[in-house]
Amino acid sequence: MSREQKSPAESSVEMRELVLPNDTNSHGNVLGGKVLHLMDLACAMVAMRHCRRPVVTAAMDNVEFLAPIPGGHFMILKAMVNHTGHSSMEIGVRVEGEDPRTGDITHTSSAYLTFVALDDLKNPVEVPELTPTSEIEKRRFQEASERAQARKKHRQD
């Protein structure tokens, strides 16, 4: 029996959040932990939309904070499935900051998160196969496949 197939666009998510004073550090910029929390939420939504099952976060690749997002600015999170395994999904997320007064947008961080789909007994379950269509989706799929192999090798070392 063939696995269900889905395109990356079918489950993609874009979230926006206003950076409030309670979300900022002593420098007036969004807390790194808040960014990580929202990355996990955005990617979890993508994973759940892709497999229509409960999911758990299995891994988060290296995250670098490239630029701050000041309080009062908007945080934009764009997430999409890059690759699927048997029960796992790699979701890529890009975080941007938007100045609400000028509309200027700055790339502030990116990460790759791996999620595993669960059945009703909380055991890993098969996910739909990803079918990239555009050249960008195909490139992301190939790069994600290489990262998945590297993660697997790292776990074996």
**Local confidence pLDDT in tens for the 157 residues of the chain:** 578 999 999 999 999 999 999 999 999 999 999 999 999 999 999 999 999 999 999 999 989 999 999 999 999 999 999 999 999 999 999 999 999 999 999 999 999 999 999 999 999 999 999 999 999 999 999 999 999 998 888 888 7
Helix (H, G, I), strand (E, B) or coil at 114: strand
Structurally, the chain folds into a number of domains equal to 1
What's the full length of the chain, in residues?
157
CATH code, domain carrying 117: 3.10.129.10
Which residues, at least 6 apart from 49, have a Cβ–Cβ distance to it below 8 Å?
Answer: 10, 11, 13
Distances (CA, A) of 95 to 9, 62, 64, 132, 133: 18, 14, 11, 22, 24
Q: Which domain holds residue 99?
A: 5-156
Count other Cβ atoms within 10 Å, centred on residue 87: 19
